Amino acid sequence: MFISPDRARIRSAIVALTVSAIAFAGAVTLARSTTAAAAAPLAAGVEDEGADCAVNLPGTTTAGAKLPDPFKRLDGTRVTTRSDWRCRREEIRKLSERYVYGTKPARPAGVTGTVSRTGITVNVSDGGRSAGFSATVSVPGGTGPFPAVVVVGGLGADTATILAAGVAVINYDPLAVGKEGTARGNKQGAFYSVYGATSSTGLLAAWAWGVSRIIDVIEQSGGTVLKADSLGVTGCSRYGKGAFAIGAFDQRIALTMPIESGSGGVPAFRAIAGESGAQPLSSAYSEQPWLGDAFGPYTGNPAGLPVDQHETVAMIAPRGLFIMENPRIDWLAARSGSVSALAGAEVYKALGAGDNITYWSDVADGTHCAVRPEWRTPLQQHLQKFLLRTGSAAGTFRISSLKAGNLAEWRDWQTPVLTDTPPSSPPPSPSPSGASPSPSRPPSPSPSASSSPPPTGACVAAFRTVNSWPGGFQGEVTVTAGASAISGWTAAWTLGGGQSISQLWNGTLTVTGSAATVKNLSWNGALGAGASTAFGFLGTGSPAASGLACTSP
């Protein structure tokens, strides 16, 4: 999406403005397992850890109106262990390439270049064709080597904040790799010079390929200027679409920060059609060849896709992800973005990394691609946690009430408990310089099953405060079956003075006077003996659930 041709100039002017603070009425901290990683997982040492997985995409696939189950393999079985995720992620990657982005080729036969404190050069050759491009570098004070953030198109997270944190900035011109304003049958740029002007790969995947080649060169450089294992990426608007794809398709990226990416970016394709004012998929497809050619038939039938963008979110797990959206411009499809983020966060939680994803759409104004004071502190925290590795701030969801999606409306699958530790990733190939890339660091284990005896009675319900702020809070209620399996449950409590519930997920809410009642949905009502499920809600007033009780039919 391209809203303003002078966005960069407008953004520069906005930097100088002082924006008053807002009341954080929509603050939400993502519910996560109690044993979520205390420290952020490092980036992987290879571009694609699942490259050795055997993936055979079927000629026909089954889809539907609900978001596809990210835990369901192509053979119909579901992921049950953490070690399963590596190859399931590869299936999602291949589906995304075939139906959404087009193929992102693996590392070319020849990649060379240079890295200095002011720039990076890249030269690639493959199949008798060659191309080159470059990027500029800005480094903070000090001798380095520095972690770095790739800023796509010079438009993304606040570079002043990035540099002040001690992190370098790589200014990447994606149009040198995949040029906009070209016909789908005559694409141009470094990528298409190597793979052909008629390639069905869209610009977003081409841009992702270009950043992967920059990382190759940084790896070859020996880490004298930039750290290859401490890299992030950010972009806004159509460059936000690009940043999202870059982070998803290269596991060496430790922190992905898409901003206001709109249709073709973070928002769920299935949800966009029903979101008033959102850019239609047909428009996003035709405006520029950002998406792969194969996506065309699905612009009017996203329910026919065997994959959706919540699974692109899942491809980034368990690495750092900070999604920033703007609910004040309908065109940006922020409601669909929150749906996608909430669904993708289920994979983060299943991997024991719920602390590693943040979603923030609670912003004060509608200026597109502005430098926002609301995002400055979380930006600093994410840089510290994932690139500098000096922080441990938990991820948070701050979903604006203007564009709050309801995940329960979009899924009919449950999140499994994955209890094993993943195996070591396949040995990475040595870089051309002979230096081995940094090894992958697995996320912390998921919680094991409780050894406590099941509660007495049919079920019990327990309340906890996930987050609170002046005048409001986010609560979570865990429902646990007793000594016998149950086929449904009802949790009930009494609202205190000044309390109300503005949003609830993973259950059906009824409020009569001061009595609040929540019943299970179709997919989370059946619980085995001692098994648990949870629902969450946003409330006003003091955080409490007085007289909370659980019954089962």
Active site (catalytic) residues: 237, 368
**Residues with Cβ within 8 Å of residue 59, at least 6 apart in sequence:** none
- b or e along 61-73 (b: 16 or more beta carbons within 10 Å of the residue's beta carbon)? eebeeebbbbbee
User: Cα(260)–Cα(331) distance, rounded to whole angstroms?
Assistant: 10
Phi first, then psi: give them for residue 541, nearest 5 degrees: 90, -160
Q: Which amino acid makes up residue 357?
A: I
Closest by CA position to 202, among listed 97, 51, 90: 97
Closest by CA position to 102, among listed 187, 205, 1: 205
Which token pair is 170? 């790589």
User: Cα(490)–Cα(480) distance, rounded to whole angstroms?
Assistant: 11
**Beta carbons of 359 and 398 less than 8 angstroms apart:** yes
Look at residue 137 and give its three-state secondary structure: strand
User: Cα(86)–Cα(341) distance, rounded to whole angstroms?
Assistant: 20
* Distances in whole angstroms, Cα of residue 378 to Cα of each of 161, 272, 381, 459: 11, 27, 5, 38
For the chain, what is the radius of gyration of the CA atoms? 23
User: Cα(507)–Cα(548) distance, rounded to whole angstroms?
Assistant: 15
Look at residue 411 and give its three-state secondary structure: coil
- b or e along 444-463 (b: 16 or more beta carbons within 10 Å of the residue's beta carbon)? bbbeeeeeeebbeebbbbbe
Place of tokens 């936000």: 240
* Distances in whole angstroms, Cα of residue 274 to Cα of each of 90, 279, 307, 339: 30, 11, 18, 12
Which token pair is 478? 């865990």
User: Cα(263)–Cα(309) distance, rounded to whole angstroms?
Assistant: 10
User: Cα(324)–Cα(303) distance, rounded to whole angstroms?
Assistant: 26
Which token pair is 308? 């959706």
Cis geometry, peptide bond prior to residue 145 (ω within 30 degrees of 0): yes
